Amino acid sequence: MSLQEELQMSKLPAPGVQLMLQLMLTREAVVRVQERLFEGHGLTIQQYNVLRIVRGGPVKGHPIFEIERRMIYRFANVTRLVDRLEVQGLLKRVADPRDRRVSRVVITPKGRRLMERLDEPVHDMAVRMTSCCEEDECLALARQLERLRDHCLQEGESQAPPMGTES
């Protein structure tokens, strides 16, 4: 469905606005598919993201701040996510022997088994969702999106604070 039809617009906005709207709508479509997959395994997208980070991390685990830094959806409360995953027996906190004020988060055998069960469905989901594009198109689009994201991050860093606020 075209952007104009989906948002019931009488006329299309400028190309840059069209791109931003398409990105937002596409993100929502991808999230809906992911939610269905993860909910079937008792997880949210954010919980899966934490498990993915911890499983791929060092054997000694990651401190919470490191998990936060690696999150895709950075608005999530990582401490609360870890708490919930710990209650489910998927993660555990261990004391850092060098700094007892810091705890590290490690994946449990139960969490590792769940992630292993999800590996194939997650891969298959990505293949299905991108099957409308050839491999070289996927890679080209990924590079363009990376360039756009880098530019947006630079723009965000260079923006002056709004009027009436102090920096």
Which residue do the tokens 């099957």 mark? 131
Question: Residue 141: helix, strand or coil by DSSP?
Answer: helix
Of the candidates 111, 58, 118, 67, which has an alpha carbon nearest to the alpha carbon of residue 86?
Answer: 111
Query: Domain limits of the chain?
Result: 16-152
What the block records as the tokens of 73 is 């959806």
Q: What is the CA radius of gyration of the chain?
A: 20
Rounded distance, CA 64 to CA 125, Å?
29
pLDDT digits 0-9 by tens, 140-156:
999 999 999 999 889 87
CA distances for 91 relative to 23, 87, 136, 149, angstroms: 33, 8, 37, 31
Residue 135 confidence (pLDDT): 95
Q: Any idea which of 35-39, 99-103, 127-131 has the lowest mean pLDDT?
A: 99-103
pLDDT digits 0-9 by tens, 115-142:
999 999 999 999 999 999 999 999 999 9
User: Where are any strands of DSSP class E within 51-156?
Assistant: 62-63, 91-96, 99-107
| Fold annotation for 16-152 | Arc Repressor Mutant, subunit A (1.10.10)
Confidence of residue 101 (pLDDT cuts 50, 70, 90): confident
97 and 63 Cβ atoms separated by less than 8 Å: no
What the block records as the tokens of 129 is 């969702």
pLDDT digits 0-9 by tens, 49-100:
999 999 999 989 999 999 999 998 877 799 999 999 999 999 999 988 787 7
What the block records as the tokens of 21 is 């709207």
Rounded distance, CA 66 to CA 106, Å?
12
